Structures are given as C-alpha cells and as structure tokens.
Structure 1
Amino acid sequence: MWYAYLLLLFSAFAGRSGSLSAWDECVFMGEEEKNSLYEDGDVVIGGLFPLHYSPVYSHSTYETKPSPNVYNYFSARALRWIQTMTFAVKEINKRRDLLPQLKLGFHIRDSCDDIPVSLRASLLLVNGQPERDPRRTVSPVIIGDAGSGVSMALLRSLGSFHIPLVSYFASCSCLSDQGQFPTFMRTMPSDAFQIRALARLVSYFGWTWVGLIGVESDYAHFAIQLFLQESVQYGVCAAYTHFYPVSLTQAALDELLNVSASSKVIINFSGESEMQGILREVRRWNITGLQWIASEAWATATLLWARFGDLLKGTLGFAIRRADVIPGLKQHLTSLKPSNIYHSAFLTEYWEETFNCRLNGSVNSHFHGISNNLERLPCKGTENLDDVYSPYSDVTQLRVSYNVYKAVYLVAHALQDMNNCKVGQGPFLDSTCADPKNFKPWQVRQIPGYILFLS
C-alpha cells in the first residue's frame, strides 16, 4: 500500500510545473495574505499585534478546505498599539539626529493572539511573498507579540534563524532564559517583579486563603508557580489552583466558578478577553463579594471596567509604567478619515465597528455582532472620532502603547550604533562593522546599545 502513497506524493510534486524544480525556491503556500499595514524603507521593521481575539472554533472534517478563522472581538486597544508603532517610525524618519541617512519602514500583521496565525504572519514578515510581490522588503527584526505563549512559540521557530523579537507586553519570567531564547528582548518588565509585589500585597491585607486561577498558558503556569514559591514566606496558602482553556466553553466556566466558590480572594492570570468571559458568567450566576486581584495583563483594560465596573469594585493590581504623554500621538490617532483609510482592512474595520456603518468600497472582511457586513447602512461621511469614546483614541493610559513606542526606538538606536561603527573597531570578526542598510538579523544583537535591553 505504501507505494500508492508514494505515487500520490510524486504526482503532487509533478503536478506543479511538471517537475520538482519549482520547489527550489521559497513559495508561499495558500491564499494571498492582504490584510496588513506596509510602508517601504531601507529597513522595514516587522510588527505583530492581536487585533482580533477569542476565536470561534469550528470542527474540521479534514475532507474539505477549512473556512477562514472567525473571531468574536476586534481590539481597538491593539489598533492603538499598531498606530503607535507607525507613529514612532514616521517620527524617527523626520528626525535629523537619528538615522538621518536611513529610512525606516514597517510591515504590520494581525497575530489574533493565536499561535498558528502568529507563526504564519511572522514567516510572511521575514520571508515575504516574493512570487507575488517582490518589491516588498523583508523584516530583519519583529516587534511583538503581546502574549507570552505566542512569543515563546515564535521564538522557537524564528530563533533558529536568529531573528530578533522585541516584545512590548510578554511578561513571563520564563522568557528571561537567554539560553533558550537568545534572540528575545522586551520593553516590558518580567513577571518576577510583579509576583513579589502581589505576594506582599496579599500579606499586607492579611489574606491567607487565596484562590489562584489562570488561562492555560505558559504565562499563567509560570506566574502561579512563582507566586506559590514567593508567598510561602508570608504564610499565604493557596485555596486552589485552577487553569481554564483559552476557549471558555460553558462547561469550562461552570467548572471554574464551582472551584472558585471556596475563596473570596482570587488572583487571575489571564488576558482581557478571558476575563470578559469570566465576568459575564459571574454576572449571570449573580455572584457578588469577590475580591479580585488583577495581573498586569488586564489590570488597566478600560473595556472591562466600562462593562463590569460593578463586579470589579475594590479590585487591586499592579500596572506597568505609564507615559504621561507621547507628543503628537493623539493627533496621529484621530487623523483617520474615510478618504485615507479605505485601502486598509485594519483601519476600515475599526471605522465600521465604531460607527456601525459600511464604507463605500469596503475592504473589511470581518464583522462582529451581525451576520453580514452588508447589513450595515452606508456611512454618511459626517462621522468624527472626536464625537465618540474609544479605547483607540484614549491616550490617558499609555502603558503598552509606551512600550511599543520604546521598542521602535530600541531598534532605531541599535541601527544608529551600527551606523556609527568605525572600521577596525566593530563588534564582528576582524573588528568589522555591519551595513545598516544591508545587515543580517543576528548582527543586531551584537550592538552594545541593543544588548542593554535584554531581560
């Protein structure tokens, strides 16, 4: 029987241009990926952001081609992070004291907070689609991703090619292991600092019986393990530890709330999307009097407080450092107009979600809360971002956005140091220097200014 499979495999190869030679080059398999933000430059920085999240899982029969992924939510907050990256790149390009002889570009894709999607997007960033668009410059460094688990998966794949990954929100202490992840760095503090603070916080209020829950991920597993080790010295006992799946089914929610009944104080290590599902169920069960302790991943998620403020009263947690202001960012965010966003699926989707209307010639293929985008009435042309509140344009809590901003400048200063290198004093073999317009990804890590950001 095996020879039948061999013949089938040979036929598959032979069916492509009649020979195996077509496989000698890197060719992207699958449908063309068009949803991205791209601006060319001498160096194009890649970006991965969870613009969509909470996937709607469907059962695959493996007999027909799977339908495109569908997600429950669109994150206006993540779009602000994306726009902060484009703002930082454009700001650097205008400066005369930083990379005056070099233009930065960007190539940004949606990671959907989903490992398979992130891996696919990352390979498109570093390989491109040369058979379809040879003009696009590939990215030698990527800013992303937000989640620790996703970042870890990317590192295990891209690390073999020495592609640097600079995360703006991945906090897992496990990522500090430079032996496993030598190409990783971040502008986000390690969880190790947060966990020590949380253990002291619980001890300060005299809470000795605490429930520990977290989404099934490396982030939550390492965080809870660290908390258990750190809290022992304060006499704090874990009432239970419970991990729930990313896709919160009704059965998973029922199990979680039944387990949680044995403690009034609960520390939850998860993201914003998982916490939304939990709080929605807490409200349905009419559970009150819970003392939530937030991890940094959802402590400042304004959407949660807007929807579930009554359930979150008294919640404690530690937020990451906030920037008072990033000059010019607010104007950049609110400068969107239908005339300059119609070509971008990301920006078009945000506009249509915010104003619940449909732009003429819309390239948006996502819709939430409706069965079809055609159900929406056409936009009137009078919509104005200044007339509505959105996490996208809210610059009062620039925490993750500030991390994204710093990540772009991290790369820019590394390139500046590369540009300032003097022949005979460089960090490479025979004291040579790298060309900032044509360097290898691994060479970025050898730049002194860049090494300072390793965590």
Structure 2
Amino acid sequence: MRLFLDTSLGLLMLFSCFSSTVSSSLSSSSCQLQGQFHLNGMHKPGDVILGGIFRLHFFPAYSDLSFTSEPQQPTCYGFDVMGFRHAQTMAFAIDEINKNSNLLPNVTLGYSLYDNCVQLGIGFRAALTLVSDQEEQVTLEKNCVGTPPVLGIVGDSSSTRTIAISTVLGLYRVPLVSYFATCSCLSDRQKFPSFFRTIPSDSFQVNAMIHILKHFGWTWAGLIISEDDYGFNAARSFHADLGPAGGVCLAYTESLPWGYDPAEVTRVVEVVKKSTARVVIVFAHESIMFNLMKEVVRQNVTGLLWMASEAWTSGTSLQTPHFMQYLGGTLGIAIRRGEIPGLSDFLLKVRPELNYTTTNGNSMVNQFWEHTFQCRFAPPPAGWVEAGGELCTGQEVIENVENEFLDVSDLRQEYNVYKAVYALAYALDDMLQCEPGRGPFSNNTCAHLQRLEPWQLMYYLEKVNFMTTFGDQVTFDENGDALPVYDIMNWVWLPDGRTKVQRVGEVKRSAFKGEELTLDKDKIFWNFESKQPPRSVCSESCPPGTRMAIKKGEPECCFDCVPCSEGKISNTTDSMECTSCPEDFWSSPQRDHCVPKKTDFLSYHEPLGICLTTTSLLGTFICVVVLGIFIHHRSTPIVRANNSELSFQLLVSLKFCFLCSLLFIGRPKLWTCQLRHAAFGISFVLCVSCILVKTMVVLAVFRASKPGGESSLKWFGAVQQRGTVLVLTSVQAAICTVWLVSASPVPHKNTQYHSDKIVYECAVGSTVGFAVLLGYIGLLAVLSCLLAFLARNLPDSFNEAKLITFSMLIFCAVWVAFVPAYISSPGKYADAVEVFAILSSSFGLLVALFGPKCYIILLRPERNTKKAIMGRGTES
C-alpha cells in the first residue's frame, strides 16, 4: 500500500506539472513548475549527464502536515558513509571514462547524484528530478534541441524503491541500471521494460544456495524469510526450484515481520528447534536476523548450520562472540568482490568546500567531513546535533582516521556501481559510433549527440558486452540481468574470539558453460565437534538395489527405501524406479546390477548327466560284447536256431538306441535337436521291426513243423525278412522327414520354469509329429507283443516267443509310463526322463532277448547243442 501511495503521488505531481504547463501555454509562451524538490546531491557538468540515486542518509525528518502553512519537504539526517562511497565510486568511474581516449572520445560525461534517504518518497522525488530537471521556467519553442536532463540512471539500492521508480521510468524508456536491487520480480520485461542490473537477481541467489545444498547432500533444510518483496520472492523461487527434480526439500517456511515481534520470533525459533533439519536458510535483512539470533541464544539452539542470504552475509552486528557460538561456520552468499584500480587515490582527494553553506546544511562532502572528524562547518538545524562542537578547518588528515570509507579491500556494491556506469558508457559509445545511413532506427538513421533520446540508448544497452579490468564479462540477457556471479563466504570463529568472514568459493553462470560451483572445502570452518559438514536429511539415501517410496502426506524428501523385486535393479543412489534386467539377465542378490541368468540343461558335467552318459556307454559296450559273442559262436545251434541275421540286426539297432540317448545330453543345438528324435525314432523302429519279424518267423517255423505247414516258410525267407524290416523302418524315416521339414525341433530358451534361470531345451516344433513318431513305435511294439503272446504256448524248443513277450511287456510298460512323466517334468528333467526311458527299454530288450542265450553260450556250453535243444523239445 505504501508503494502504491508513493507511486501515485509521483504520478500526480507529474500530471500537475503537465496540467500547469498546458494551461499556462494558452496564455503565455512559458510554463512554470508547480514546485521544486530540495534534495541532497552532487553534480558535475558534461556533454551527457548520467543520473544516480544513492543512500546518503539513513532517515528523514518530516514537517507538520496540518496544511495551515506550505508543507516543507523532509530533511535527511544520519550520514551514511558507505552510501557516500558508492556515490564517489560513480564519480570516479565517470572521471576515469573522461580520461580514457578510447571510450567516448570528444564526449564529456557529467553526473547528477541524489540522496534517497532510505525512503521511497524521497527516492521517487530524486528520480522525477533526474528525468524532468528542475528548471523553474521552460520556454516553449517549435523546435526543441538538446539532450534530456539524464540519459540513464544508476540506482536504486532497494528492490522496493526500484520497483516504484522503474515502473514510471519504464513509461519513457529511461534506462535504470541498479547495482543492488535483487528482487527476481524485476526480471519481468513486460512490467519493467527499461530496467537493468549488474547484481544477480534473487532467483540466482536461490540457485546458488541450492547448488551448495546439493553439493553437500543437504536434502532437508528450513527457510526463514522477511515479510517483504525480498523474502516473498525468495520463498517463491525456493518452492519453484526445489522438490523431487531438485533433490532438496524444505522442512518448513517461516516468515518474520520487519518490526520486532517477540511472540512471533519465539514461535519461529521453536519450529527451528523441533525440526530435524540441521541446515537453516535465512533470507532476510540483518535487523531481522539480529532479533532472531537473540531468541536462538535465549533458547540455546545449537548444532545448526546457518546459510545467509546476501542481505546479512557481511552483517557486522551479528559477528560478535555472543552470537558466534551459534553462527560460527555460517555459509553465505555475497556480492562478487572486485578491484577498482585508482579508486583509493580518488577517495583520498575528497576535500570539503569551506565557503559552502546553505540553510539546510552543508554540501555532501562537507557532511562527510563533519561525520568523519566530528566537527562542523555551519550550525546544525534546530533540534538536531550530529557533528561535534569544533569547527572544521578542511586541513584534517583523513588518512590518519580509522574509516571504512578508505577501505577498498572488499569492494562489492562499489564494483557493481562501477560496472553499471561503464555499461551506460559503452552503450553510449556504441550509439555514437553509428555510421549514418546504417543505423538501427527508422530509415536506417542514427542517434545524434545534439538530440539523444533515452529509448535510443536502450537499444544499445541491451547489446552491450565488455570486460572489466578485473576480468569479469558484463552483458545483459533478455530480462536485463547481467551474467550472475556470487562469492561464497564462510564465517570463521578464531581461537581468540574474533570473527573472520572469508571467501571459500564462487558460483557463476557463464555464456557457454552454464552454472558452475567452485568450493575450496579445505578452507571451510565447520562449527561442530567433528569438524565435518553436518548431515541434514529427512530420510537417509536409498542405496543401489532399492527405490524410493514417498511417504504419504509428507514432503518428497521423506521416503522409505524399498528393495527392488526379483529381476529388477537400481544401480544409483536414491533411484525413483527399479529397471528390469534384459531377457537373458537377472538381478544380483544385492539387486544393484544384472548378471547373466544361470543356464540349465542336462549337462555332461552334472551327476545326473554323468550317470546317464555312463549307463548309455555301458549299454553300448554290452551290445558290442554280445555281438562279439554271437559272431564268435555264430555256428553254434543256439545262435543259428534263433535266426542269427535278425539277432545281429537287433544288436546293432540296440547299440544305436543306447548311443542316441547321448544326443539328449549337453546344451541343445539346432543339429542335436533335429537329430535326437529322428535317431531315437528310427533306431527303435529298427529294433522293434527286427523283434516283430523275429516273432513272425517263430510262428512260421512252428506252423511249418506241423503237417501241411511247409508252405508258410516261403513267405519268411531271408529276403522277405530284410525287406519287411526295411519297409517298416522306412515308414518311420518318412515320418521324421516330414516332421523335420514342416516343423523342425529347434533350441529354445525357456524362462517359464524359473525366472532366474534359462532352461535350454528342444522345442518339438510339431507336437503332432512327435506323437506320430511315438505312436508308430508303440504300434509296432504292441503288434510284436500280441504276436509273441499268441506264441507263448509253443514247445520249449521255441521259448524264443516267451522271451519276446517278456521283452515287449517291459518295453511297453516303460513307454506307457514315459508319457505322463515326460509331460509333467520341467526342463532338463524331461530330457532325463526320455533318456531314462530309452535306456530302460533298451536294457530290457537286451537282457530279455540275449541274456539267457549268453548264459547258455558262456556258462552252460553243454546245453548249446542241437541234441540238447531238441532233447528239451522231446521231453516237453
């Protein structure tokens, strides 16, 4: 409301002056100002005048507002030495530019610097004076010539005053370059089209603090702000930039009024005390922080790391032994410190004007002299005594006085003033170097020194780009903000009780590298027993292998760490989600990386595979031995009586049956998948075909032994036997060929049995093909079993039929049990079941058909005679 009233006052005064001018012009050729502002100021003539608004006094004294007499304008008191140094810095910069032949040659800069007295109304009066001048009478001519009173203004030092002033100056596009107004709201180009600044905005100050928080892993912090534009805009920036994306959360946000409110301060400190946040950010002015720290001391709130905004980083009132027990180790953001060569010598030349007196007091330099030496040049106003009783001689030696005015070791605000003046100068230089006919204005015109307009300077100020002697680049972005840079300060509590505020790093934004944080950690003083940075988190970081699960109803930085589920991993700290492993990989036990899945197949290296392989080779070896026995004893009656050729074929086919089981062991490959079932099917059909033909021969021989049955033998000669075996085997070969061509078995990675394993198996391709293959074997086996069953009652000399019946029963029993076992067995166990069935049925046939014969051949040779064989027949 105060801002609105003061702004409205200024606009009304302009309107009043304008109305007077118009009304007067109807009757005369001149108009007169309705009134003049009496302001403290410093002036220097020149071809082009630059304006400045500085804090030269602390507070005003207002006159009686009863309106019984003409109101008197306020008088400012309480001389501000630092504000005077800021004004002198601008004067020095202009003097330096005038001496520089390369910058603005043949043009002399002048200045008009006014006091704002830390009051919006007075600062507003100063701004209006700068843009309208204070000529008491203005002559109206048809052709006006000359430059406006000022082309640009350096100031103000307060965001609140700058907002009001820039709102009005923006209407006329008069450039206002602030050296200390940090409110991020001033970056709104629509509201403040002619505003520029050489100090970073609060939004970047917030970014700088966030960089520090993230650098030290402080994800849980408290925020205390002042109840003004400075604090509220900072809070808005914090809440906009923090959160899950920023990785930092605010435990609380509290505000404090400008005036001292004990109850409110106590409440805020109690919030700080109860909070688990060990880092507290205070975005407020020094006076508010002072009141806050008094309550912190009273409640003895220790163990905190304070982060200071630029407004109180260098606050001397806080750097006392009483407070340093709590504020030691504070990290703060400070304006960039610069160096201005020659400024110290310039300040030493500031001398008083002994013959200058006014009814309102002495000149600005005289006031500085009085303040420094506690003397006086003229009697002070009634009721006010600031200087001492001694008269000033003007010969006092200022070097002998302990005065911060001459201390140029820590130039911060002055460096921004210096850059602001040079920015205006470089823009003016670029404007005056314009080549006629190639200018940026309408019809390619240029600006002329005799008729310069502030809006023309705006065009060049937006494009200014230069380097200071200190090595900093100065340029403005689309919002009028210069490339931001801040120093990071640390409050060191020395053993002797003194305080030292030292620079420990910087944060800046460059045109090419973006935002950069540089910290010298070894220089930072930590006010903790561990001498290490504090730990300030709501929840400890989630290690790799877990994910963050936000707690319902709490800030984003308060979370639980949930382990990743099987098959998912997180390989970073504080991961929001767990990612699934690729198809052939699985999560490690720690869930922090993916490992290749274990492969599972019937291997030659595992006990089951070794056992089956040994059994297969043993069966093959036995077949070879039996074949050798039969070959060696091929002329004996027992071998000849059992159709030796079919016996040899049967032994060979059994050997193939034993060997084909090896194709089911080992990692499945395309050729093994295609060959295993084909070899198995053909081998067993060959084996069963031999048994079937053998059974048929036994029945034929039995019939031939009866009267009239001799003709049956002609259908079962050697050629017919071989042909029958070949035809029956060829049918199975055809089935296998059609199967392999239409839907060939292929290797398959099966992950359905175990999520963390890859089961390598052979997909049959066509279930119908596999069923037809097994069905054909079963058909021949059942047929052989039936024929052998019909021949079971033959004489003992033909007990071959009994052996065939027994072997076929074993064979059928094994394969009938195989089907459900195969279907219900997962992975490699299905292959093991099939191998077991192959080996069991093969051993059953080998033992049942050839065991008794080998027993007679090897152990009972006396029975291996034709007489013995025929004798059994007669006896029976």
**TM-score class normalised by the smaller sequence:** 0.7 to 0.9
Identical aligned residues as a percent: 35
Structure 1 segment 296-445 matched on structure 2, within 5 A: 296-301=310-315, 305=319, 310=324, 312-323=327-338, 325-339=339-353, 342=356, 345-359=363-377, 361=378, 371-373=384-386, 376-379=389-392, 383-445=396-458
Post-superposition Cα deviations, 1:114-168, rounded to whole Å, max 9, x if no partner, equal: 2211111100011111117999971121111111221111111111111111111
Residue 622 (structure 2) aligns with:
none
Q: Is the 8 A contact 2:53 2:113 kept in 1?
A: yes
1:268 and 2:319 matched: no
Structure 1 segment 52-91 matched on structure 2, within 5 A: 52-53=57-58, 68-69=73-74, 73-91=78-96
Structure 1 residues 191 and 261, CA gap change in structure 2 (3 angstroms): same
Q: Is the 8 A contact 1:53 1:71 kept in 2?
A: yes
CA distance in 1, matches of 2:297, 2:390: 37
Residue 188 (structure 2) aligns with:
177
Q: Is the 8 A contact 2:173 2:458 kept in 1?
A: no
Post-superposition Cα deviations, 1:191-239, rounded to whole Å, max 9, x if no partner, equal: 22210121343453737241412142x2221111111232333343243
Q: Return 46-55 or 412-421, whichever deviates more.
A: 46-55
CA distance in 1, matches of 2:282, 2:191: 27
Using the TM superposition, give the Cα deviation of residue 47 of structure 1 relative to its aligned residue in structure 2, in angstroms.
0.3
Post-superposition Cα deviations, 1:384-414, rounded to whole Å, max 9, x if no partner, equal: 2212233322111111111111111111111
One-letter identity of the residue aligned with 2:210: A
Q: Return 50-59 or 378-387, whichever deviates more.
A: 50-59
Q: Is the 8 A contact 1:341 1:347 kept in 2?
A: no
Q: Is the 8 A contact 2:231 2:284 kept in 1?
A: yes
CA distance in 1, matches of 2:206, 2:133: 39
CA distance in 2, matches of 1:100, 1:307: 54
Q: Is the 8 A contact 1:208 1:237 kept in 2?
A: yes
| Aligned match for 2:224, one of 212, 216, 219 | 212
One-letter identity of the residue aligned with 1:422: E
Helix, strand or coil: the match of 1:405? Answer: helix
CA distance in 2, matches of 1:29, 1:253: 46
CA distance in 2, matches of 1:303, 1:240: 25
Structure 1 segment 140-155 matched on structure 2, within 5 A: 140-155=151-166
Residue 8 (structure 1) aligns with:
none
Helix, strand or coil: the match of 2:114? Answer: strand
Q: Is the 8 A contact 1:215 1:269 kept in 2?
A: no
Residue 7 (structure 1) aligns with:
none
Residue 9 (structure 1) aligns with:
none
Residue 135 (structure 2) aligns with:
130
Post-superposition Cα deviations, 1:405-432, rounded to whole Å, max 9, x if no partner, equal: 1111111111111111001110100110
CA distance in 1, matches of 2:54, 2:321: 23
Residue 108 (structure 1) aligns with:
113
1:195 and 2:206 matched: yes
CA distance in 1, matches of 2:263, 2:415: 37
Residue 104 (structure 2) aligns with:
99
Q: Is the 8 A contact 1:89 1:408 kept in 2?
A: yes
One-letter identity of the residue aligned with 2:220: T
CA distance in 2, matches of 1:103, 1:281: 50
Post-superposition Cα deviations, 1:330-386, rounded to whole Å, max 9, x if no partner, equal: 011122233479566322222222222212x36x769xxx94247633236553221
Structure 1 residues 303 and 351, CA gap change in structure 2 (3 angstroms): farther
Helix, strand or coil: the match of 2:346? Answer: helix
One-letter identity of the residue aligned with 1:212: I
Using the TM superposition, give the Cα deviation of residue 444 of structure 1 relative to its aligned residue in structure 2, in angstroms.
0.6
Post-superposition Cα deviations, 1:54-91, rounded to whole Å, max 9, x if no partner, equal: 56789966667666546674321111110000001111
CA distance in 2, matches of 1:205, 1:56: 50
Using the TM superposition, give the Cα deviation of residue 317 of structure 1 relative to its aligned residue in structure 2, in angstroms.
0.9
Q: Is the 8 A contact 2:63 2:71 kept in 1?
A: no
One-letter identity of the residue aligned with 1:37: M
Structure 1 residues 375 and 330, CA gap change in structure 2 (3 angstroms): closer
One-letter identity of the residue aligned with 2:408: V
Residue 264 (structure 2) aligns with:
255
Q: Is the 8 A contact 2:256 2:264 kept in 1?
A: no
One-letter identity of the residue aligned with 1:440: E
Structure 1: which 5+ runs fail to align?
A: 1-12
One-letter identity of the residue aligned with 1:423: P
1:221 and 2:232 matched: yes
1:21 and 2:24 matched: yes
Q: Is the 8 A contact 1:417 1:449 kept in 2?
A: no
Q: Return 118-127 or 343-352, whichever deviates more.
A: 343-352
| Aligned match for 1:244, one of 246, 257, 262 | 257
Helix, strand or coil: the match of 2:52? Answer: strand
Pair member with larger Rg: 2
CA distance in 1, matches of 2:134, 2:62: 28
Q: Is the 8 A contact 1:102 1:437 kept in 2?
A: no
Count of aligned positions: 426
Structure 1 residues 34 and 152, CA gap change in structure 2 (3 angstroms): closer
One-letter identity of the residue aligned with 1:326: I
CA distance in 1, matches of 2:106, 2:457: 18
Structure 1 segment 280-295 matched on structure 2, within 5 A: 282-283=293-294, 287=298, 289=302, 291-295=305-309
Using the TM superposition, give the Cα deviation of residue 291 of structure 1 relative to its aligned residue in structure 2, in angstroms.
4.8
CA distance in 2, matches of 1:396, 1:334: 15
CA distance in 2, matches of 1:106, 1:141: 10
Q: Is the 8 A contact 1:212 1:266 kept in 2?
A: yes
Helix, strand or coil: the match of 1:262? Answer: helix
Q: Is the 8 A contact 2:131 2:149 kept in 1?
A: yes
Structure 1 residues 382 and 151, CA gap change in structure 2 (3 angstroms): same
One-letter identity of the residue aligned with 1:335: K
Using the TM superposition, give the Cα deviation of residue 113 of structure 1 relative to its aligned residue in structure 2, in angstroms.
2.9
Structure 2: which 5+ runs fail to align?
A: 1-15, 140-145, 274-278, 466-474, 482-876
CA distance in 2, matches of 1:356, 1:154: 35
CA distance in 1, matches of 2:85, 2:356: 18
Q: Is the 8 A contact 2:60 2:75 kept in 1?
A: yes
CA distance in 2, matches of 1:57, 1:267: 37
Structure 1 residues 258 and 71, CA gap change in structure 2 (3 angstroms): farther
CA distance in 2, matches of 1:308, 1:31: 49
Residue 6 (structure 1) aligns with:
none
Using the TM superposition, give the Cα deviation of residue 27 of structure 1 relative to its aligned residue in structure 2, in angstroms.
4.5
